[in-house]
Structures are given as C-alpha cells and as structure tokens.
Structure 1
Amino acid sequence: MKPSVGRVVHVPTDPAKNNGADIAPAVITRVWNDDCVNVRVLLDSDAVEWRTSVTYADAFDDDTNRHRWTWPPRV
C-alpha cells in the first residue's frame, strides 16, 4: 500500500498519554515519500500530538523509537 493524506496508520505511543495503550491511530497529513509521512496522532486523552517525518516500520517489536508508523493489521 502507498501512504496518502487522510489514511489511518498506527504509531507507538507513551501509554501514560494514551489511557494505557502503547499503540495509537494517526491520520497522515503529509506524504514525503513511500516511507516518510507527517501524522496527527489520535490519543485516547485530551492531549494533542503531531509527528513529523515518521518512517515506516513493519512492526514495533522492542522499538522505543516513537518516530515510526505501520499499517493497521487486516482483520
């Protein structure tokens, strides 16, 4: 899949800012290339979070880098 403005992706997040969850949805607001995008993170709280130049990762396994994104799993 190719990223485009308005698509929803997942990003790792601080559980303390996200009602205990370590993954949050984010909406792509700018596409730099197939791997790098800007996003607005939709936290389960009143916090507002924007991330710029986040890069694609297949998974977040043991990755503490908060500047990553991945596609939501297909169900």
Structure 2
Amino acid sequence: MQPSIGRVVLVPMDPATNNGASVAPAIITRVWTGTSINVQILADAPGCAWRTSLTHVESLDGLDDAHDRLYRWTWPPKVGA
C-alpha cells in the first residue's frame, strides 16, 4: 500500500497521555515519500497532536527507544487478518 492524504495509520503513544492505550490512529496530512509522512493523531485524550517526518515500520512491537517510537508509523491490521 502507498500512503496518501486522508488515510488512517497507527502510531505509538505514551499510554499515560492516551487513556492507557499504547497505540493511536492518525490521519495522514502530508506524504513525503512512500515511507515518510506527517500525521494528525486522534488520541483518546483532549487536545490535538501532530507528528512530522514519520518513517514506516512493519510493526510497532519491539520499539524500545522512546525517541525512536515518536517517529514511526504502520498500517492498521487488515480486517479478518
């Protein structure tokens, strides 16, 4: 799949700022390349969060470095997968 404006992706979140959830959906607002995007995060909390220049990873699992986690995104799992 190729990223495009308006598509939904998943980004890692600090559970303390996302009502206990470690992942949040985000809407693509800018596509830089096939793997680099900007997003607006739809957190389970008040406010509006933005992230820029995120890089695609196959999975958000195993991202240990807190700084590294801020700059990653992945596709949601396919329904029925």
- Do both proteins adopt the same fold according to a TM-score greater than 0.5, normalized to the shorter chain? yes
SS in structure 1 at match of 2:38: strand
**Cα distance between partner residues in 1 of 2:6 and 2:44:** 19
Q: TM-score, normalised to structure 2's length?
A: 0.89
Are 2:78 and 1:74 equivalent residues in the alignment? yes
Shift of 1:47: 2.7
More helix, by proportion: 2
1:51 and 2:55 aligned:
no
| Structure 2 spans left out of the alignment, 5+ residues | none
1:4 to partner: Cα distance: 0.2
Kindly report which structure 2 residues correspond to 1:4-15, keeping only aligned pairs within 5 A, or say none: 4-15=4-15
Pairs within 5 Å for 1:16-55:
16-55=16-55
Shift in Å at residue 62 of structure 1?
1.8
Shifted more, 1-10 versus 42-51: the winner is: 42-51
What's the RMSD between the two structures over aligned residues? 0.8
Number of residue-to-residue matches in the alignment? 75
- Give the letter aligned to residue 48 of structure 2: V
Contact 1:17-1:47 within 8 A present in 2 as well:
no
TM normalised by structure 1 equals 0.95
Cα shift at 1:61: 1.9
After TM superposition, the runs of 4+ consecutive aligned structure 1 residues lying more than 6 A away are: none
Aligned counterparts of 2:19 and 2:61: Cα–Cα separation in 1: 20
